[in-house]
Chain A
């Protein structure tokens, strides 16, 4: 299990971009910016190597010394699930926004911002929590349990 590692700096940069871009989207009332963020999140979930924000961290922020790596023994799957869940919520927001339900749409965007902020500032990953609860329930596809000490 020692080879299962997650660079938490990648996650933090990802969350910071999500919060910043969705906040900007709300301020300038840009549904297309929400579409862009949702696309980045969902593509990053399906293929982590293609995550735009991760690439910015790896090729710009880290080499420039602006963000230092913070590697922790952890499972990457719950974090991918959390990002994917956020992307799906943003899909719902996009449908609402383009259907004219602006309050609902921006409320769902706000929900994603709040969940990302909880993770970024308080270290609480709601999606990871849900993943591990589903793992405890034995739901197929949620195979990874918390990595125990020494494991």
Chain B
């Protein structure tokens, strides 16, 4: 039993370290872009075959409606614009990538990132004060359930 527990712990640490290491490497390897943009930019890679992309689109639309002047959004169809997808090493959809005002890649999300998560990441990038907290977004979602 001790051996199995140790194996599980080692595997969990290995998987976690591999994931965060690869993600950090992925962010560092992405070349700077959109230099000089006044506001943070969100690159949103989507595709027609991506089942959760409609949900991601709604989350991004919700984010944009709450903070219309605080960010720029670029929607990229990764299945048609493969050059841009390859440039950012996109391997799963949806993928959202945050680029700061200096054009540096700061954060990447693999898979669905909800509006709360994107809002928290935006607040860190833009150092803006959230007028509407994530709890408001959740309560709105719960009411419509």
Chain A interface residues toward B at CB < 8 A: 5, 7-8, 23, 26-29, 68-74, 78, 117, 121-125, 128-129, 131-132, 136, 146-149, 151
Residue in chain B with minimal CB distance to A72: B55
Pick 21 A–B contacts, CB within 8 A, sort by A.
A23-B8, A27-B1, A28-B1, A29-B1, A29-B4, A69-B138, A70-B114, A70-B138, A71-B144, A71-B145, A72-B58, A73-B55, A123-B110, A123-B113, A124-B111, A136-B49, A146-B50, A146-B52, A147-B54, A149-B54, A149-B58
Number of A-B contacts (CB under 8 A): 74
Query: For the complex, would chain A's binding face be called helix, strand, loop or mixed by DSSP majority?
Result: mixed
Q: Does B53 contact A (CB under 8 A)?
A: yes
Contact of A27 among B5, B53, B114 (CB under 8 A): B5
Q: Are A123 and B51 in contact (CB under 8 A)?
A: no
Whether the pair A146, B141 counts as a contact (CB closer than 8 A) is: no
Chain A residues whose CB sits within 8 angstroms of the CB of B142 once the complex forms: 68-69, 71
CA distance A5 to B141 in the complex (A): 10
A147 to B19, CA, bound (A): 30
Chain B contact-residue range equals: 20 to 34
Interface residues of B in 93-144 (CB under 8 A from A): 110-114, 138, 141-142, 144
Residue of A nearest to B94 (CB): A123
B57 within 8 A of A: yes
Q: Does B89 contact A (CB under 8 A)?
A: no
CB of B138 within 8 A of CB of A129, answer no
Tell me the B residues contacting A by CB distance below 8 Å. 1, 4-5, 8, 15, 19, 49-55, 57-58, 61, 92, 110-114, 138, 141-142, 144-145
Give B112's nearest chain A residue, CB to CB.
Answer: A123
Pick the residue among A26, A27, A74, A124 that contacts B55 (CB under 8 A).
A74
A136: chain B residues within 8 A (beta carbon): 49
Chain B residues with Cβ below 8 Å from A128 are 51-52
A-chain residues with CB within 8 Å of residue B1 when the two chains form the complex: 27-29
